[in-house]
Amino acid sequence: MTPTPDITAPFIGRLKTLYADMDAAYRKAADHYGFHCRGCEDNCCLTRFFHHTHLEHRYLREGFRRLPDALREEIRERADLARQQTAAAEKEGAPPRIMCPLNGEGWCRLYDYRPMICRLHGIAHEVHPPGRPAFRSPGCAVFSRRAAGRDDFRFDRTPFYRAMALLENELRQAAGITVKLKMTVADMIATFEDRPS
């Protein structure tokens, strides 16, 4: 029998290149500001990030499948708990600050596979959305405090957002995907198959 070609594989290769470009640009900006996350009194893995690309969902699933069985199960349980805690916090009208289920003892268990926003978070940046005014974000609270008084460094996320959107569109067309995606990492983990019954 002829094996079914993996339609995602070439996109994953391009995603890795894009991630490497993001990481390099982020490092350059971080070096400029002398800003590094080690010893941070906050933890951005407590932030409720939404992810929007099927490509990143598939890549995270690829990383997840490589983890040992016991760790996968532990993470699944943490993801279920995080989703329940998030729902409860929302019901109370409180902003959810729930640890990402992939964070274990302060470290991302799937660091190489982490999504775009985890890679870009923290540092002051600008975005130039098509047809809308450009905007600048001051970065996270810890960054704003630590980088106070430093010269600005132009960290423009636009090329990364644009390249990600193009890649995602190509994948959707190639794979015939029509549904939109808006998920936290906990939501994504809950969709990963091979769950024991």
The binding site for ligand SF4 (CB under 6 A) comprises 45, 100, 102-103, 108, 114, 118, 185
**Least distance to ligand SF4, CB of residue 64, Å:** 11
Q: Do 151 and 182 touch, CB atoms closer than 8 A?
A: no
CA-CA-CA-CA torsion sign (65, 17, 50, 117): positive
* Residue bearing tokens 């704003």: 144
Judged by CB, which is closer to ligand SF4: 84, or 169? 84
Closest CA to 22 of 146, 128, 161, 127: 161
Judged by CB, which is closer to ligand SF4: 7, or 46? 46
Residue 6 token pair: 């993996």
Judged by CB, which is closer to ligand SF4: 142, or 175? 142
Amino acid present at 109 = R
**Least distance to ligand SF4, CB of residue 186, Å:** 9
**Least distance to ligand SF4, CB of residue 118, Å:** 3
- Dihedral, 168, 173, 174, 179 alpha carbons, nearest 10: 70
**Least distance to ligand SF4, CB of residue 120, Å:** 11
**Least distance to ligand SF4, CB of residue 109, Å:** 7
Judged by CB, which is closer to ligand SF4: 116, or 171? 116
Judged by CB, which is closer to ligand SF4: 175, or 190? 190
**Least distance to ligand SF4, CB of residue 104, Å:** 8
Rg of the Cα atoms in the chain: 18
Q: Do 57 and 184 touch, CB atoms closer than 8 A?
A: no
User: What are the CB-based long-range contacts (under 8 Å, 24+) for 175-182?
Assistant: 175/7, 175/8, 175/54, 177/54, 180/52, 181/51, 181/52, 181/53, 181/54, 181/57, 182/50, 182/51, 182/52
Judged by CB, which is closer to ligand SF4: 132, or 182? 182
